[in-house]
Amino acid sequence: MVVIGVDIGSVATKGILISDGVQHKTIFPTGWSPRDASDAVIAQLLHQSGIEGQRVTRIFGTGYGRVAFDQADKTVTEIKCHARGIAELLPEVRTIIDIGGQDSKVIRIGERGQVVDFSMNDKCAAGTGRFLQVMATALGLDVSELGAAEDPAQRLPISSMCTVFAESEIIGLMAKGNPKGGIVAGLHQSVGKRVAAMAKRLGIKEPIAFTGGVAINQGVKRALEEELGAPVMVSEACQYTGALGAALLALENV
Amino acid sequence: MGLRLKKELDGQDIKAMISPTPRDASKSCGISLMVDEGDLPLIRQIIVENNIEIIKIVSLARKEWKYRST
Amino acid sequence: MADYQQMWTDLGMDLEKHDVLCEVLPEAFGGVYLTQQNRPKGMDFYDFVVSEIHGVRPAEMIQHQKEGGKVFGTFCVYVPDEVVFAAGGIAAGLCGGSQFWVSGGEKVLPANTCPLIKASVGARLDKTCPFFLIPDMYVGETTCDGKKKAWEILAGEVPFHIIDIPQMKRDRDIAAFEAEIKDFIAVVEKVTGNKITAESLGEAIKLINNKRRALQRVYNARKASPVPISGKDALLVTQINFYDDPARAAEMANNLADELEQRINSGSGVFPDNALRIMISGTPMAIPNWKLHHIVESLGAAVVVEESCTGTRYFENLVDESATTLDGQIRALAERYMKTNCACFTPNTARIDDIVRLADEYKVDGIIDTNLQFCNIYSTESYQVKQALTERNQPIMHIETDYSEQDFEQLRTRVEAFLEMLRK
């Protein structure tokens, strides 16, 4: 059987095709059109695997752009998909921290990868990838460079949680000649603190996994571990967790 | 008046929906009944027979709602 | 349909601005309400009231004033309507539920004020709602700091009376509320020029109790599976009851309940009998705030009960009708109103007991505990609510939101994930 899972995030659209147990994956920027991005992902997956479109049994969609995804046979929330994806990648995990482009989530999962409880940030960019994106721009960096740019030894506290205020705060810190690495470490701490607070409120059960695009950033992982006082696991495929979950749910047809 | 007509139509099993008047029909901010165009001849007859006062009948394209229940 | 332009002009409304509101109503109501399948016929009346929302009831109120009657605008289920009707007045709940009015409120209120207060103040200051311009007096209360300070601003616009709501529920607090009712009676007597007697208050108590009994019947019908009425429709019934004539409101709700009971007998409903059953608890949803109900129900789950001021808190308890003296009636009123469990009280564990009981009575699969943004008391209480329900293995999710559409998609994801969790 051939199935596809597509996770249409606010920043990137991820796809996984599973054909007789073999996985193919790809990623595209979502850009302005979630529909175009998902079309591109599916075309690329078919091209990569050499499989004809007619052989695809089911396509499941997830992520914030799923509503516009008309090729999907079914759409599922990213919460359920992340739970299913992690159950495959890191089966021992009981708590998932997912930080994506526009929201962050904490998901507690049971032994079969089922969602036990979850929480999501309210309408605010603090503690999300969006927050880091805005700060990276203010620092003249690309968001992908933040992880390597931090210098925890010189960490400066960023007191503002609000994206708008934090931006002017770091501009002020730079104007005073503070080292960029120290500011970046402070930003990571701010995200870690915010998300850890949300996780503690929900209740954490170890082991903990960190998923979503922001999980690539080693600095946020470090900050999260410090704030949670517990180790955090990051799968190599962290960015694809949702797409994998969608593909597996499509395989199981649930 | 709108309610009276609705009752008469209900009595004869003619489908009608009470609705705020769509803006493309009138700027009146009041009640109107949405009915199927096919039922119109019969509805006109009921209006006359029961002496119900209406402002006008307007034909509108079936619309796509921005929010839907299903 | 009558032409209300003259009436609105006479009220001093800003017609141009008001027209913008008139423009969005058919679209919002049409999409949210009229696309529902198999609605009860008894909803026709409520559809009619919404269709002429700023016309038909305001016209009745103005007629009442022309005949020498007075109209009182209220903002809370703690205000005893019985007193107003006993003096031949009309009481009407005024709370604003539309984002349309929020910016008007923000002109004078801090941004971190709850949307209900912002909308209520904005509706008055912008002169875009007839209900806010008609009353001879506003009756405020002290249920939260935001409201208390907002009253001071509105008091510059219209005569104001404020009822001091106790913050605890000891015997002396009930006695204090009794004294507040006595003060309120004196104020209402003065404004209306009518004396309240044991006879008139007794009648008013029966009048309002009858409305409560009718709403209880509608809600009881929602305990059935399949549920015979959507949560959105039930919410609309409650919302309109806040300002409709109480006798007519009772009649219409009773008619609707008759139909719902017939539906239960024939096993017909508006959702399949395996649809998830959801309770919404928390802050009130003033008309036309249908946002959360719409999200839940368009995802295929049924809202079967609201533990809120626009739900069970509005009608659950009846006033004892046996008292024959004014003092006895006032005591009965105080006792009834002080049974309402609002987060402005401390402690407020009885509200948690209510949620637990309702979850059982209405056989709910999950609870969405919600509060309007910046409502500090309900937001704080949500922690205790969640703890208590989680202990009982009752799935619960907390949502904080406002009247805007900005977070619509995000909320949909959260609600959808919650429903997925319940379906497993």
The per-residue pLDDT for range C228-253, each reduced to its tens digit, is 999 999 999 999 999 999 999 999 99
* Residue of C104 and A163 predicted with greater confidence: C104
Q: What is the DSSP letter of C345?
A: S
For the purposes of burial, counting CB atoms within 10 Å of the CB of C378, is it exposed (0-12), middle (13-18) or buried (19 or more)? buried
CA distance A119 to A217: 22
Residues of A in contact with C373 (CB under 8 A): 122
Chain B CB contacts of C33 below 8 Å: 69
Q: Are A194 and A166 contacting, i.e. CB atoms less than 8 angstroms apart?
A: no
A39-67 per-position pLDDT tens digit? 999 999 999 999 999 999 999 999 988 98
Residue C1 has its nearest CB partner, among B1, B10, B34, at B1
Q: Coil, helix or strand for A41? A: helix
With an 8 Å Cβ cutoff, are C298 and B69 in contact? yes
Token pair listed for C183 = 């003060």
User: Do A2-80+241-252 and A93-234 show the same overall fold?
Assistant: yes
Q: Which CATH class is domain A2-80+241-252?
A: alpha beta
> Which residues of C are less than 8 Å from B29 in CB distance?
4, 19, 22, 25, 52, 54-55
pLDDT band at B68 (very low <50, low <70, confident <90, very high): low
The confidence band for B63, taking pLDDT boundaries of 50, 70 and 90, is low
Tell whether A96 lies on the interface with C, counting CB pairs under 8 A: no
* C-beta atoms surrounding A185 within 10 Å: 25
Best of C39, C45, C48, C51 to disrupt the B interface by mutation (most B CBs within 10 Å)?
C51
Say if B and A touch: at least 3 Cβ pairs within 8 Å: no
Contact between A205 and A108 (Cβ < 8 Å) = yes
Interface contact flag, C51 B3, Cβ < 8 Å:
no
DSSP A160-221: --SHHHHHHHHHHHHHTT--HHHHHHHHHHHHHHHHHHHHHHH---SSEEEESGGGG-HHHH
Q: How far is CA C203 from CA B50, C208, C321, C326, in A?
A: 38, 9, 9, 12
Instruction: Give the β-pairing of C366-372 and C396-401.
Output: parallel
CA A214 remoteness from chain centre? 6
Q: Which stretch of A115-124, B31-40, C6-15 has the lowest confidence by average pLDDT?
A: A115-124
Q: What is the pLDDT of residue C1?
A: 47
Residues in C 289-318 with any Cβ partner in B closer than 8 A: 294, 297-298
Q: Which residues contact A138 (CB under 8 A, 6 or more apart)?
A: A167, A170, A171
Q: Predicted confidence band at B1 (pLDDT cuts at 50, 70, 90)?
A: low
Which two tokens mark A123? 């309408």
φ, ψ (nearest 5 deg) of residue A23: -100, 140
Higher-confidence residue of B23 and A238: namely A238
Q: In chain A, which among 31-70 make CB contacts under 8 A with chain C?
A: 64, 67
Q: Cis peptide before C347, with omega less than 30 degrees from 0?
A: yes
pLDDT at A165: 85
pLDDT of residue B67 exceeding 70, the answer is no
Q: How many beta-carbon pairs below 8 A join chains B and C?
A: 92
For chain C, which residues score pLDDT lower than 70?
A: 1-2
CA distance B35 to B58: 10
Residue of C nearest to A108 (CA): C421
Are B18 and C22 within 8 A, CB to CB?
no
CATH of domain A93-234: 3.30.420.40
Chain B interface includes C54 (CB < 8 A): yes
Q: Which residue of A lies nearest to C398 if distances are taken between CA atoms?
A: A119
Per-residue model confidence (pLDDT) at position C2? 62
Q: What is the pLDDT of residue C299?
A: 96
Rounded to the nearest 5°, which phi and psi values hold at A78? Answer: -65, -20
Q: Which residues of C touch B28 (CB under 8 A)?
A: 1, 3
Interface probe with B: pick from C24, C41, C52, most Cβ of B within 10 Å: C52
Query: How confident is the model over C412-424, as pLDDT tens digits?
Result: 999 999 999 999 7
The answer to whether C400 faces chain A, any CB pair under 8 Å, is yes
Residue C35 has its nearest CB partner, among B21, B27, B68, at: B68
> Is the Cβ pair C413, A79 closer than 8 Å?
yes
Closest residue of chain A to C400, computed from CA coordinates: A122
Percent of chain A residues past pLDDT 90, beyond the cut: 76
- The predicted complex's ipTM stands at 0.89
C35 interfacial to chain B (CB closer than 8 Å): yes
Domain boundaries, chain A: 2-80+241-252, 93-234
DSSP C87-113: TT-EEEE-----GGGHHHHHTTS-TTS
Closest CA to A132 of A52, A223, A235: A223
pLDDT digits (tens, 9 = 90+) for A187-245: 999 999 999 999 999 999 999 999 998 999 999 999 999 999 999 999 999 999 999 99
The two tokens of residue C304 are 């079967």
Structure tokens at A48: 């990569």
Listed by start position, the domains of chain C span: 5-423
Residues of C in contact with B20 (CB under 8 A): 25-26, 29-30, 50-51, 53
Q: Does B56 touch chain C (CB under 8 A)?
A: no
User: Is the CB of residue C223 less than 8 Å from the CB of residue C120?
Assistant: no
